[in-house]
Amino acid sequence: MFKARIVASALFAACLTAISASAETLRWGSNRDIVSLDPYSYGDSFTINVLNNVYEGLVRYNRDLKIEPALATSWQVMSDTVWRFKLREGVKFHNGDPFTADDVIASLTRVSDPASPLKGNLPAYKSAKKIDDHTVDIELNGAYPLLLNDLTNIHIFSKKWLVENHAEKPTDVGAGVEGYATTHANGTGPFMLESRQPDAKTVFVRNPNWWDKPQHDLDRIEFIPIASAATRVAALLSGEVDFIDDTPVQDLPRLEAAPNVKLLQRADIRTIMLGLNRRDTLVGGAKNPFNDLRVRQALQDSINLTLLRDRVMRGKSRIAGTMVAPEIPGYSAELDKPAPYDPEEAKKLLAEAGYPNGFEFSFVCANDRYVNEEQLCQAIASMWARIGLKPKLDVGPRSVQTPKFTNGKADVYTLGWATEPMLDSYSLLLQVLHTKTGNAGVFNWGGWSYPELDKMIDQAGVMLDREKRLDLQIKALKLAKDQVLMIPLHQQPMVWATTADVKEMPQFPDNKPRLWYVRK
């Protein structure tokens, strides 16, 4: 009897261990918290990506960042301005509500509400119409080739759930409207929200009723923001988290030496560039020398990109000759040849342009946006000083520097562009290189205008034929390169680190962990 009890309890204990061993938890130590549980509350790519574990769009990116069906199974372009989407049947939200056309329409209405900070993510949207329970027509305000790219980031809510909780409208800080969806979540995705404590821990658990066959083997995700980089690395080394993104480059040797840590590194798709003031006068009031192509070339030729890569970026970055990364549609290897480092030529060009003794200008950088940005700017400033230029370096936090950028108070500035969220070079052309008009050129902080370039971009924006569109975009990028509109520097390194327990963690060039592919 006594023996039997021991055997029974040993068996019971064995079962317990077996259960706990198969329940895989991934603890993700992230450099920042998500803003809210509502993907529409704040224009933040990071939050949208984390919430993608819970919410899904009509389409999604696969492992190769190609668009594939998600909540829509197929689509058809009916006319220049109408797209018809067939929706997946049998999908259920986490609370059990069935997924239908009404949910799509309610979500699109919510995201395009005038108060929605995310409506810029769906610029071409005009209206949506229900054809039947599983068919929706989306009407656009013009021909637009990149609708699918945009839709990857528009998460679908349950209409019934929104209505029941009075959250049909997005939150509105100005009008004091808060929302149920800020603190609750109900999507169709591979994981369901279990709990959330802001700045401490957000827990997701496996959705057993997910419509897709899971490629992951996780039962639970603990999302843990740890803002301090040193603490984040320490937490990984002590095994308190399994995965960290945004690993500081200077900690790599230590992590490489640690026995239980795996490093995942590659170049990001974010291209770091320098932009130049192109208004009539410099910020200081003097006549603007940057309007002379030779001066711009001199600036470019005097930057030693190899040295920047090897010293500032510790050999981890990828030198860029063009303004988009190889993974981005519109990239061309032919354009991706960096200007050779030639300080003598640069001096000659400056002298020819009438500035043999250089000139003074402001060089504005932030210190909390890109990898080692402050050191990068210091290195470039000293390279320019070597050919006689007098850059006045101004480094500060992003929140303080951004108004200088947007108000044209910077003669030379840094800008990193990943073509988020559409992942197409059209994003760079429209937002950064186009003349500042209406929707276009919001990040044209230098204030230049090339009508010929604008024409090509505008044509590409309505060209539904993909090949022809990319041809146009490459031509536009060539013009921008020839005119030295921006000086591309590199694609910055991105380093993720996991403990040895994590078997599979696909690393995406857009620096977004997609946890539904993770095996532990």
Q: For residue 493, is the peptide bond before it cis, meaning its omega torsion is within 30 degrees of 0?
A: no
C-alpha dihedral (48, 45, 266, 269), degrees to nearest 10: 130
Q: Which residues pair with 287 in a beta bridge?
A: 281
SS (H, E, C) 34-47: CCCCCCCCCCCHHH
Name the minimum Å distance from CB 439 to other proteins. Answer: 5
**d(C-alpha 136, C-alpha 98), whole Å:** 16
Q: Is 127 helix (H, G, I), strand (E, B) or coil?
A: strand
Supply 59's token pair.
């389409």
Q: Which is nearer to other proteins, 72 or 226 (CB)?
A: 226
- Cβ neighbour number for residue 127 with a 10 Å cutoff: 14
Q: Which is nearer to other proteins, 438 or 451 (CB)?
A: 438
Q: Which is nearer to other proteins, 382 or 406 (CB)?
A: 406
Q: Which is nearer to other proteins, 251 or 301 (CB)?
A: 251
Q: Is 227 helix (H, G, I), strand (E, B) or coil?
A: coil
Supply 501's token pair.
């327990």
Local structure of residue 236 (DSSP, 8 states): H
**d(C-alpha 425, C-alpha 199), whole Å:** 35
Q: Which is nearer to other proteins, 392 or 436 (CB)?
A: 436
**d(C-alpha 153, C-alpha 120), whole Å:** 11
Name the minimum Å distance from CB 210 to other proteins. Answer: 28
Name the minimum Å distance from CB 447 to other proteins. Answer: 12
Name the minimum Å distance from CB 90 to other proteins. Answer: 33
- CA-nearest of 454, 488, 451 to 472 is 454
**d(C-alpha 328, C-alpha 510), whole Å:** 10
Q: Which is nearer to other proteins, 285 or 438 (CB)?
A: 438
Q: How would you list the strands of the sheet with 82-87, edge to edge?
A: 72-77, 82-87, 135-140, 125-132
Q: What angle do CA 74, 80, 82 make, to 5 degrees?
A: 50
Binding site for other proteins (CB under 8 A): 33, 35-36, 38, 41-45, 115, 117-121, 123, 171, 173-176, 178-179, 182-183, 197-201, 224-228, 230-231, 234-235, 237-240, 368, 397-403, 406, 420-422, 427, 431, 436, 438-439, 442-443
Q: Which is nearer to other proteins, 176 or 340 (CB)?
A: 176
Q: Which is nearer to other proteins, 100 or 427 (CB)?
A: 427
Q: Which is nearer to other proteins, 79 or 439 (CB)?
A: 439
Name the minimum Å distance from CB 4 to other proteins. Answer: 34
The secondary structure of 264-286 as a DSSP string is EEEEEEEEEEEEE--SSB-TTSS
Name the minimum Å distance from CB 174 to other proteins. Answer: 4
User: Maximum CA pair distance of the chain?
Assistant: 102
Name the minimum Å distance from CB 436 to other proteins. Answer: 7
Name the minimum Å distance from CB 398 to other proteins. Answer: 8
Q: Which helix H or strand E contains 224, and what residues bound it?
A: strand 220-225
Q: How many residues does the structure list for the chain?
A: 520
Name the minimum Å distance from CB 203 to other proteins. Answer: 12
b (16+ CB within 10 A) / e for 439-475: ebbebbbbebebeebbebbeebbebeeeeebbbbbbe
Name the minimum Å distance from CB 144 to other proteins. Answer: 13
Q: Which is nearer to other proteins, 20 or 357 (CB)?
A: 20
Name the minimum Å distance from CB 150 to other proteins. Answer: 8
Q: Which helix H or strand E contains 425, and what residues bound it?
A: helix 425-428
Q: Which amino acid is at 484?
A: V
Q: Which is nearer to other proteins, 254 or 503 (CB)?
A: 254
* Cβ pair 475, 487 in contact under 8 A: no
Q: Which is nearer to other proteins, 315 or 397 (CB)?
A: 397
Name the minimum Å distance from CB 400 to other proteins. Answer: 5
**d(C-alpha 151, C-alpha 144), whole Å:** 12
